[in-house]
Amino acid sequence: MLGRNKHQKPPMTARIERPLSPHIQTYRWTLTMALSIVHRATGIALYVGTLLLAWWLIAAASGPTAYAHVQAFTGSIIGRLIVFGYTWALMHHMLSGIRHFVWDLGYGFKANEREALTWGALIGGVVLTVLIWIIAYAIGGGR
């Protein structure tokens, strides 16, 4: 298109109607499609969440006051929600990633297999998250 002079430019009415590749709205939503986006979204969330991890480690290295600030935040309702969300994002992204490793190795491409792997990541992520939080509260982390 670059360098084309205006005399050669076709009028808008003469625009050739080329077939377009179907956009995302055209497709029937499948589980693997939705979870592909969730994998990416949890990855982005974990990316931002590393700030919390870094803050926590730096505070532990800095001293009691800084560490108390982190504990005050993670102990608050909003802090707990964020850490709970972070736990789920981490567990889900890990299991979803293991699903990708299975595919990388060349297995699990049949329709029922990929559905099973995807459900496994989805359910497994929730189960592991709840399990971790039950254990955390049981050993006194809820204080």
Contact flag: residue 63 with another protein (CB under 8 A): yes
Residue 80 CA: distances (Å) to CA of 75, 83, 142: 6, 5, 10
Q: How far is it, in rounded angstroms, from Cα 99 to Cα 121? A: 7
Q: How far is the CB of 66 from another protein (least distance, A)?
A: 8
Contact flag: residue 133 with another protein (CB under 8 A): no
* Closest to 86 in 3D by CA, of 38, 46, 36: 46
Contact flag: residue 1 with another protein (CB under 8 A): no
Q: How far is it, in rounded angstroms, from Cα 127 to Cα 123? A: 6
Candidates 82, 94, 102, 126; binder of another protein (CB under 8 A) is 94
Q: Looking at beta carbons only, is 17 or 104 nearer to another protein? A: 104
Q: How far is it, in rounded angstroms, from Cα 83 to Cα 31? A: 26
Of the candidate spans 10-18, 21-29, 58-66, 118-126, the one that interacts with another protein by CB under 8 A turns out to be 58-66
Contact flag: residue 64 with another protein (CB under 8 A): yes
Q: How far is it, in rounded angstroms, from Cα 119 to Cα 80? A: 26
Q: How far is it, in rounded angstroms, from Cα 92 to Cα 17? A: 43
Contact flag: residue 16 with another protein (CB under 8 A): no
Of the candidate spans 5-13, 55-63, 108-116, 117-125, the one that interacts with another protein by CB under 8 A turns out to be 55-63
Residue position matching structure tokens 């084309």: 4
Q: Which residues bind another protein (CB under 8 A)?
A: 40, 43-44, 46-47, 50-51, 53-54, 57-61, 63-64, 66-68, 90, 94, 97-98, 100-101, 104, 132, 135-136, 139-141, 143
